[in-house]
């Protein structure tokens, strides 16, 4: 199983509209990619780190895919979803594609 994380760094002075993200953006992701093989999504809200340090990421969106072929088909639609970013944040996300090798 492949896990894609879209990670929004916790940068001072930046905005992140969690309400829009949960109720508009993520449903758009599911609507767009659901028929193409997206297995499921999750959303994390950053709470903290070690000690009193702030969370490195204010929010992380997860997308799960069965294989690389399906993922690449979905990535081709990535532009549509990236175009929605200014509607809820001015943070430039980092994208991590991983294989889940132990669970």
What is the binding site for a second copy (CB under 8 A)? Answer: 2-3, 7, 18, 22, 26, 40-50, 53, 55-57, 60, 75, 78, 94-103
In the bound complex, what is the minimum distance in angstroms from residue 62's beta carbon to a second copy?
8
Looking at beta carbons only, is 48 or 90 nearer to a second copy?
48
CB 97 within 8 A of CB 2: yes
Looking at beta carbons only, is 36 or 76 nearer to a second copy?
76
- Calculated CA dihedral for residues 26, 32, 34, 40, nearest 10 degrees: -20
In the bound complex, what is the minimum distance in angstroms from residue 87's beta carbon to a second copy?
18
Looking at beta carbons only, is 36 or 82 nearer to a second copy?
82
> What contacts 24+ positions apart, CB below 8 Å, involve 24-28?
24/84, 24/87, 24/88, 25/81, 25/84, 25/87, 25/88, 26/61, 28/81, 28/84
In the bound complex, what is the minimum distance in angstroms from residue 35's beta carbon to a second copy?
20
């Amino acid at each position: 199983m492949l896990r894609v994380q879209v990670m929004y760094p916790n940068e001072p002075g930046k905005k992140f509209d969690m309400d829009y993200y949960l109720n508009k953006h993520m449903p758009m992701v599911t609507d767009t990619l659901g028929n193409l093989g997206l297995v499921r999504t999750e959303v994390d809200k950053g709470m903290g780190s070690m000690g009193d340090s702030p969370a490195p990421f204010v929010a992380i969106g997860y997308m799960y895919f069965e294989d690389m072929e399906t993922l690449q088909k979905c990535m081709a639609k990535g532009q549509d979803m990236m175009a929605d970013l200014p509607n809820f944040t001015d943070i430039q996300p980092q994208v991590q594609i991983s294989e889940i090798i132990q669970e």
